[in-house]
Structure 1
Amino acid sequence: MTQFDPHMVLLIFAAAVVTYLTRIGGFILITRMTRIPPRVEAALNAVPAAVLTTLVAPAFFIGGWDVKVSLLVALLVGLRFSSTPMLIAGWIVVMAWRYLAG
């Protein structure tokens, strides 16, 4: 059994408060604006692409060939179709590759 450490509890609580403040702070800031400046709007429009890149890039560079091929197939399908066929195509490719390659 581990011993109770009050400093660790305080650290976890402080991290939770800071995380909450940063999340609610952006919401409060945007709701108080009467007009969103063009630069802020451009930055907000770039967020989905940035999040997608941070999720996909490590998997592509660290993953095996099954992951690389499935991501490339999903990219090609995503250029033509919506997100559901893209997801299904990537899933089928990675599952088939893993089944056939062992």
Structure 2
Amino acid sequence: MIDAVTVLTIVLMAAVTYLTRIGGYLLLRDRRLGPRASAVMEAAPGCVLISVIAPAFVSDRPADLIALAVTVLAATRLPMLPTVLIGVATAGLLRHLLP
């Protein structure tokens, strides 16, 4: 059985995630963003991706370093979703195959 604290933690994390997403929409729905603010909003998903893969730069595992190189290469050629899928699949496969 799942612990009640674990369920509460998951529900609260989901609520906070939802509130941060809907909060931006509610705050900015009647406003026009300038070019600078638009550029920041468009760059945000890339920043999130970098924060996820940045720890692999200091990894000593060959599988992580190869997966990082493949992900960076994919990021230069493909949109965000295929890049994430390729990165996750490559990391999982290489971690399984390499020590």
> TM-score per shorter chain, which class?
0.5 to 0.7
Distance in 2 between the 1:94 and 1:25 partners? 34
Instruction: Identify which of structures 1 and 2 has the higher relative contact order when contacts are C-alpha pairs closer than 8 Å and 6+ apart.
Output: 2
Shift of 1:24: 2.7
Unaligned runs of 5+ in 2: 1-7
Residue of structure 2 in register with 1:59 after alignment: 56
Aligned twin of 2:86: 87
1:25 aligns with 2:11: no
SS where residue 53 of structure 1 aligns? Answer: helix
Instruction: Show structure 1 runs of 5+ residues with no match.
Output: 1-8
C-alpha deviations, 1:38-78, integer Å up to 9, x for none? 22101101101101101111233246111111210232244
Provide the secondary structure at the position in 1 that maps to 2:33: coil
Go from structure 1 to structure 2 and tell me whether the alpha carbon gap of 1:39 and 1:66 turns closer, same or farther (over 3 Å shift).
same
CA-based RMSD of the aligned residues comes to 3.7
Work out the number of aligned pairs and report it. 86
Give 1:87 deviation, angstroms. 0.7
Select 1:48's aligned residue among 25, 32, 45: 45
Q: TM-score, normalised by structure 2?
A: 0.58
